[in-house]
Each structure stands twice: as structure tokens, then as C-alpha cells.
Amino acid sequence: MLEEQLKQIIKRKRIDNYTIDPTDNYFDHITFSVNCLSDYIKIIESINSVKKYSNYFFFYRGISNCSWKLEPSLMRRMSIFDTLEHDLAVEFNSEMPHVFKNTNSNFEKIASMQHYGIPTRLLDFSLNPLVALYFACSGNFNKDGRVVFTKNKLNYFDNSCVECVSSLFLYENCVNISIDSWLEKYGISVSDFLHTEYTEYSECNPLFVKPPYIDYRMKNQRSVFLLFSNIIRDSLAENSCYSYNIKGVNKNGALVENFSEIYKEQIEHPFYAPLNSPRLILNKKTFNRIRDSYLSDDNSINNKKLDLSLKNRFSLQDALNPLEMMDIWGDFSSIIIPSNHKKRILLQLNEVGINEGFIYPESEHVARIISKQY
């Protein structure tokens, strides 16, 4: 986990004087605070001494209000049984068909929508820490800013899992779509997908994706997107715990599972209950308990039985799956920018060429920068 690596770096690089207490429970992870660009660069140089692995990178997100959560715009606007994502895509394609015409994948389509300001299941990050610092300082000058960072594998838009999750905007309604039929279209097995999404050491969770850079703005910002999938319910467990009598569910593959133990926290405190009907939702903890149900005497997983148990029991829900708190606490970290230092840091960033004209190289933004200089 990033947390353990940062603890070692703080001690080795002697940067403990920059650490502060976490600002709130959501961002309850290792937190730094800086007052100037040089201090920020010192922190970035220190954290980049983390051991390098092939295709693993640091990703940075700047937010001008440190209390904002790591949620994509679509998540903040969706309601239960919502068709918003599909409707937005249809309307966008109707008004700007040339944009979709020039794309080759579902991910490119939603990346284009994000680029033009349409709410999507994507959350902006950057490979450039100075770009994130600019966004953390530009605006909300009475609020502290935050740069959130993490280290993870960089995926590309031709990844089958990326394309599969991106395809969900094509569905007018995702409620109770079997993940078996959804995944089959992209040649992905249920077992492979769930292990990708819900195992603690998966290389694709969270799912960071580098888009094609369609213009200088994306190139200058070194854009990377965090791609959110939908919530997945366990109909077999619900049949057992709530007697919902959901038809077409695999009843023979999971006889060894103790559902009341696997989902005990959700049974006591329902996480997701549309129309007051509690759903039992997959997350890393519940999926690991399912896997543990198939431990053999030698402490290895009986994959044949596990794979059988995972078929024909899970379905999508019309809600995005948020980042798990255990990930935010253990695999993310923050650098706080006090509100009274934001404008000073913006001036310092301008001296090294990171300004509005660089972030937004379109002509109207460059003209605004020129006007401010005279």
C-alpha cells in the first residue's frame, strides 16, 4: 500500500515537518501541507523515490476546495433508476455528431464528452503534479486546496476491461442487467472481471486510463481519467437473506458460502436500498470473503468451484460504484494548499510557465492572459 511506502519515505527523506493531521474522515490518510512551490516540489521529489514498477505511475488531482470528494460529475447528478448517462450521450451525439464519428471506442466517446464538459463516469487526474497544483490553487480562494495523489498501473483505451465498463453509457437502463451477458460481448469471464475489480492487489483497481490526446489542452494537462464502473448486486445472496425469489439465479454453485457472514455489515446497515429494498453489494471485503469460502486444506483457492459459484448470480445496478474507503485511506495521499497561499503559488507557477494559457491553450484563454499582462 502507498501508505506504508510513504511512512518510510517521510522518515528517510526527513519531510515529517510537512505532515499534518488528516482534514476529515473521508481523506483520513497521510497528509502534507505546503506554502510555496519549492516546498511542493520537495514533497513530489521525495514521493517519487518510491520503487518504480513497469507501467506504474503517480496520478495527481487538484481540487480548489479540500472537502470535495473523489466522485465523477455523473455520480453527483444521478438518482436511482436514472437514464442520465445514456440521455446525455444521445443528446451530445445529436448536437455534435462529428465528435463521435472520429472515435474508435466507447472509452473515446465518453472521454470526448468529458473533454467538452458533459457529466460522465470519468474523474480527471494528471500525470503532471504542477498541473494538479494549478487546479488546487485556481479558485475558491477562501478555501484550502488539495492535491490528491496515488500510484497505480496506467491502462490504455484498448484494454478490454476499459472498453467494457465504458460501454455502459449505451444502456438506457442498467438495472439488473446480468453481468454474464454484459461481459460476454467483450470476451471477459465473470471470474476475471470480478478479480480485476475486487481483489486488493488488482493492477486495474482503481482503473486509471490514458485517453488519446485529441488536442493541445489534453496534451498540456497530461490527462488521465479514473474510470468508475457500476454497483454490482449479489442476487443469490439476496435470495437467501431476504427471500426475494429472483429467478434465473445460479443456485448450485455457492452452497458452501455463509451469506449472512459474507454480507454481515450490509445486512446490519444496508449500503444501497433503492425503493427501500436492500441490495447486497459486492466490494473488496465481501468478494474476498466469497473467495475464502473456497479455501482448500492446503490454504489455496479451489478456482474451479469458485468460478462455478460466480456464474449467473450478479447483476448491474443503475448507480456508479464509489471508491472504497479502504483505498482512499491506504492508497491515496494529499497535499493541502492553505487558502492564504494560493495566489502566491499561482504567481510562482506562472514563472515556470504553468498558467491559464498553458492549461487552456485555446485562443480565448491565451488572449485573456495577454490582456492581464497590460
pLDDT of 301 reads 87
* pTM of the shown model: 0.92
pLDDT of 202 reads 62
pLDDT of 122 reads 97
**DSSP letters of 20-53?**
E--SSSTT-S-EEE-SSHHHHHHHHHHHTTSPP-
Taking 60 as the threshold, does the pLDDT of residue 45 lie above it? yes
Is the peptide bond preceding residue 206 cis, with omega within 30 degrees of 0?
yes
Over residues 53-78, the pLDDT tens digits come to 667 899 999 999 999 999 999 998 86
Over residues 338-351, the pLDDT tens digits come to 999 999 999 999 99
Over residues 239-287, the pLDDT tens digits come to 888 877 666 676 666 568 899 999 999 999 988 888 788 899 999 999 9
* Residues 77, 68 contacting (CB under 8 angstroms): no
pLDDT of 175 reads 87
Taking 80 as the threshold, does the pLDDT of residue 51 lie above it? no
What distances in angstroms separate CA 289 from CA 199, 242, 253, one per listed residue?
Answer: 11, 19, 15
Residue 301 falls in which region: left (phi positive, over 0), alpha (psi -120 to 50) or beta: beta
